[in-house]
Structure 1
């Protein structure tokens, strides 16, 4: 990375990687309680500036840490490591709003199955991270908690919908943070905040709304400050759960071990600078990603531009997105739906108005797109593309209306670099690749082969090595317009 090390004034423990912190926990050199107190201190230092985790539950975390010390208690893979959970996912006894006014006071009695799994494997929940209403959109704000701000420049958008998760990681409020992804909700905020966000293959991580059990596009996944930490968290999240119809058993080999296989000289990258002309990309972003590809080639990777036919990608994605919102919201309590923001209600209306021809065309397009990517994977290990077509915009802008010289019509249009992986069910990851001239981090998207998370993580570690990552934690850069 080519930026001066930013100032960091928080607890030393908060600057550790998740892998390092778990190592200390296992050796008994630090306790979960000590990590919780360090995280609480860091939250108090930073959250007034960025509003990343508006619902902390430190007392619940302290009680969970005490339970971990009971005799013969199996502390799991995370061994008592504190982490954040996105405010779309239920945590028993903790306010869970989904960012919507109708659920502002909702406190669930039970946790989402994914939270149960994470806690069973030694994770300790610190609190709920901020999200746009029901995760709709890539600007993290809602009527209950207000906006989350980009810690690199608090005038700017941290993206979303896992914006609170990314912002909290960047400043050291937690060692790991959970998120979810449909149109880039793990990848885009990771790119804007300089961390790592992985969208897994559908079915690898079980969790989320039960009524969307057969929807492949929305997935739960890990976010962390490094590729190794992300792999550790993925190890904690995965496993077959019969409550979810798409769930499948994972490979028994740890994903964390895959990171050690990273070898730049054997990595073959297929470059999609604007996803075959289907995605809008600003000139400065194109330059950043072109330079990143050149750096990878100079480091020994094979880089070639590939040209699959990705026509129809946006249409296919939007139809599937509409089906998701229709499935989730058609039967929701009208009192909750009454308070929806305009863009969320528009999502629902689009979904409910779908014609059979729209659905059939979407399925046919997706099948063709999948075949096109498979042809590419016969020659390359991963596909590389921008995570998003533009750099962060002011936090007051709900969505970006012009990218790559194109005027955009819909509030998701500026995120179309993320649509391919979602539409065809491929794993994808965002990893930092340096800084813009303004000192903001830039993320590179790598798209892996079907159910190819292990190889994808190894490729991401190659990129991280070439660019000198991961980035260190830092104090928020509080700026004023």
Structure 2
């Protein structure tokens, strides 16, 4: 039987503009699904049903459908503030602080006409590649309730995959959009550095963090990205921008819908963590890579297997220093440190033990690494890698006591994502494969500022593989 959430976000927008469904009807449909289904997924930490209905009614009364996402429901990741709504950031330390102002990305999406249904789960301060925290239950991939949705945008991804919202904004400081996208069977796009208002649990140290879309289709991802980086919401000056944003006439949605172009694409299964930890690739990951290469060649792209190697240098040590330094600013002191989870407390204390020389050296080393990666990839329009090295991990799999081992496990699970943040490049995870009912994604990394190329390639693969037709049991 047909239901409204079976439509893509783009199709829902068309229905809203034609008057085939009201904003209130669409909002009520998703709120009913959240109430009925989310207990099995754990994607929401706060549901703001009354605020959502009031917002929907106001949009219906105004009747102006010009906003680019007019009437479409979504949910805010619980690392960003929405005025009047608690922000937990996955931590007991936050104590459910009620925000007095909204984050820039929230204002941008409100301006675009969206309806927020609430806040989605995140690990403590968005620091981990999985979504579990002491303030609530684990967030599962809708494809298997025993397996984790990944992190740190795990709640946002699980909500989209389960049909609780049509799409959702996430944030990515080391893989936090692409990791859960792969684990939940979604398209997840990390834009170039500076493309959208910065948001993350690690602030902007090193310019790692950027907001981006999680969606079921490439077109929906482009549609949401257009709104997230709208000129009205962009900061007047972004220190970490690698390229100026396109003109207002440019549309990522249009690039995704057209899906045009033939490109030169290299592949690699090497990672910058290979010399630091024991990195092993699951057979399902290798199968996803082979399948993608086959379809890329069939479309007409020039595919060069093992065409590049991801530079290693001293990456593992340098990135770990930066990650610890970013965590050191979390405002926990004295007894409040006991409110933090072991992995967070370890990062905080390790970060505070660093010297200024340690941090300055790491930043200088990673700046050089950024140039090395961009140079190594410069001969190709895109580079294909796995998104993750392993299938989704069981809830509770990560070491809850030994924080250093926990960090190692995260790097073994997701060794291909963080270096892209360091380089400031755009990257997209695409749900190309499925093994034993579980989605498996691959990652395409683009040139600076060329999200349009990634969306075009993604659209071509989507037409052939039709991943938008795969759904979890809750669908």
TM-score by length of 1: 0.88
Cα RMSD of the aligned pairs, angstroms, is 2.7
Change beyond 3 A, Cα 1:214–1:314 = closer
Residue 246 of structure 1 and its aligned partner are, at CA, apart by 4.2
* Residue 322 of structure 1: aligned partner: 324
The correspondence of residues 151-166 of structure 1 with structure 2, limited to 5 A, is 151-166=142-157
CA offset digits 1:202-245 (Å, max 9, x no partner): 21111436993454012222111111101111111103224865
Partner of 2:251: 254
Per-residue CA deviation, residues 423-481 of structure 1 (Å, 9 max, x unaligned), is 11111111111112x2211000111111221222212222323322324444339xxxx
Q: Tell me, which stretches of 5 or more residues in structure 1 are unaligned?
A: 1-8, 402-406
Give 1:339 deviation, angstroms: 0.5
How many residue pairs match? The answer is 459
Please identify, of 177-186 and 375-384, the stretch whose mean Cα deviation from structure 2 is larger. Answer: 375-384
Paired with 1:29 and 1:72, the residues of 2 have a C-alpha distance of 13
Residue 378 and residue 425 in structure 1: after superposition, are their counterparts in 2 closer, same or farther (change >3 A)? closer
Confirm whether residue 121 of structure 1 aligns to residue 112 of structure 2: yes
Tell me, yes or no, if structure 1 residue 463 matches structure 2 residue 428. no
Q: After superposition, give the CA deviation of every residue in 1:350-382 in whole Å (9 maximum; x if it has no partner).
A: 222234554354344434433333334442111
2:474 counterpart residue number: 476
* Cα 1:156–1:332 shift into 2, 3 Å: same
- CA shift digits 1:252-271 (9 cap, x unpaired): 2011111134246x122111
Give 5+ residue unaligned stretches, structure 2: none
Mapped to 1, the partners of 2:154 and 2:399 lie a distance apart of 14
422, 438, 446: which one aligns with 1:448: 446
The answer on whether the counterparts of 1:195 and 1:471 sit within 8 Å (CA) in structure 2 is no
Distance in 2 of aligned mates of 1:210 and 1:132? 10
Change over 3 Å in CA distance of 1:343–1:70 after alignment to 2: same
TM-aligned CA deviation for residue 320 of structure 1: 2.2
**Distance apart, 1:44 and its partner CA:** 2.2
- Which range moves more in the overlay, 72-81 or 152-161? 72-81
1:404 aligns with none
Partner of 1:306: 307
Q: Is the 8 A contact 2:172 2:209 kept in 1?
A: yes
CA distance, structure 1, for counterparts of residue 46 and residue 391 of structure 2: 28
The answer on whether the counterparts of 1:198 and 1:223 sit within 8 Å (CA) in structure 2 is: yes
How many angstroms apart in 1 are the aligned matches of 2:449 and 2:318?
21
Whether the aligned pair in 2 keeps the contact of 1:382 and 1:448 (CA below 8 Å) is yes
Q: For residue 418 of structure 2, what is the aligned residue in structure 1?
A: 419
Q: Distance in 2 between matches of 1:400 and 1:268?
A: 43
Identify if the C-alpha distance between structure 1 residues 434 and 211 changes in structure 2 by more than 3 Å, giving closer, same or farther. Answer: closer
Q: Secondary structure of the equivalent of 1:412?
A: helix
Please name the residue that 2:225 is paired with.
Answer: 234
Change (3 A) 1:473 1:211: closer
TM-score normalised to the size of structure 2? 0.89
Spell out the pairing of 1:274-313 with structure 2 (5 A cutoff): 274-275=270-271, 277=274, 280-284=279-283, 285-304=285-304, 305-308=306-309, 309-313=311-315
2:266 pairs with 1:270: yes
How far residue 21 of structure 1 moved from its aligned partner, in angstroms, is 0.7
Question: Structure 1, residues 326-349: CA drift from partner, whole Å, max 9, x if none?
Answer: 2x32x4565654410010111112
Indicate the SS of the match to 1:251.
coil
Whether the 8 Å CA contact 2:206–2:422 is kept in 1: the answer is no
